[in-house]
Each structure stands twice: as structure tokens, then as C-alpha cells.
Structure 1
């Protein structure tokens, strides 16, 4: 009987620590996204060169999208392999479509 209680307590403590770590990751990710947003606003307000600002904004936006998908949509969890595969397959197809249109326009 004592083993069952001990095992249940250990499982509870493990789950509690796991949730705590996940919440910590989400708070850090949220803070990074706020910082990236403030950096983007600061670059635009500072009226830096457009050839510098636009690529940096696109990179910051891509990083934020990655954070949103990976952490806030829980794509990093077990059991989300098929939705992840479908999502990344769709992103790849969209990338190929945009690439093909860019090549057609410039050719």
C-alpha cells in the first residue's frame, strides 16, 4: 500500500515539475516575442534604412511565428506528429508556390 502512495506522489511531483517547466518556457517565449516586437517598432520609429529594416522585420516575424507554433500551439508535445507533418508540409508547399511565382515573374 505504501508503494502505491509513494508512486502516486512521485508521479504527481513529476507532472507538477513538467507543467512548471512548460509554463517557464512559455513565459520566456512570450517575453522574447514582446522584445522582438519592441525592437521592430524601434527600428521603424528610428527610420533606419529600408534595405536593413525590411529583412530584419521579416526574420523577427518568422521567429515569432515559429515560437507561436512550437510553444503556444503545443506542436512540441507527443501526439502532435501528424498535425506537425501536415502543417510543415503545407508550409513547404506554400514556399514552393511562392518560389515558383517569383521565378516566373523575374524570368
Structure 2
């Protein structure tokens, strides 16, 4: 997709561009919402199934939760748009530091 100017000094062209972008954004949000509902149903099914042990179910649910957090950040919180690079960097840096802190404490306690 090429970079298009935000204002072409033609109101009908600008209106059409905004409608097209809004429709595209809404389509992404509906698809993301549908995928999140599907992932939730998979999580419920994995708990309801008697064949899975807790050693499989708990990490599987945590993985599905992490995927849903990414969907929510990038599609519902609009972090995939331009201008959100710095908050994204700080957010994922904080997640990385938190993960390292948890890993450190678990390592200290277990070994």
C-alpha cells in the first residue's frame, strides 16, 4: 500500500478514504474478536475434556491467554498503528523484565 496524503483538498476523496480505512479497521476488529471467542472456547474445551492432565491444560490455557493479550493490544488498543512504537517498546520491555524477574525467583527457589 502506498503512502497517501491525509488531505487531498478534495472532500469527497478524503471522505471515501476515511470510510475505506474505517471499514478495514472494523473488519480487523471483528476477525480478532471472533478469534478470541474461538480461543476461549478451546480453553473451556481443554478443561472440560477428561483426557488432558493439569500439566498440559495449565500451560495451554496460559498460551491461549498470551495470544489473546496480543490480539487485544494490537487490534483493540490500536498499537499496530503508526506513532505507537515507543509505547509498544516500553510495554514489551516491561513484560520482558517481569518475565526475567519471575524466572529469577523461580530459579532461586527451586535450585
Task: With the length of structure 2 as denominator, give the TM-score of the two structures.
Answer: 0.84
Deviation at 1:8, TM superposition (A): 2.2
4+ residue segments displaced more than 6 Å: none
Q: How many residues align?
A: 103
Q: Deviations over 1:13-42 (max 9, x none)?
A: 111111111110001100111011111111
Query: How far apart are the structure 1 equivalents of 2:100 and 2:58?
Result: 22
Gaps of 5+ in 1: none
Equivalent position of 1:70 in the other structure = 74
CA RMSD of aligned residues (A): 1.5
Q: Deviations over 1:43-89 (max 9, x none)?
A: 11123222221221111011001111111111111121221122111
Whose helix fraction is larger, Structure 1's or Structure 2's? 1
Query: How far apart are the structure 2 equivalents of 1:104 and 1:73?
Result: 36
Pick one of 97, 100, 105 that aligns with 2:101.
Answer: 97
Equivalent position of 2:27 in the other structure = 24
Equivalent position of 2:90 in the other structure = 86
Equivalent position of 1:10 in the other structure = 13
Task: With the length of structure 1 as denominator, give the TM-score of the two structures.
Answer: 0.87
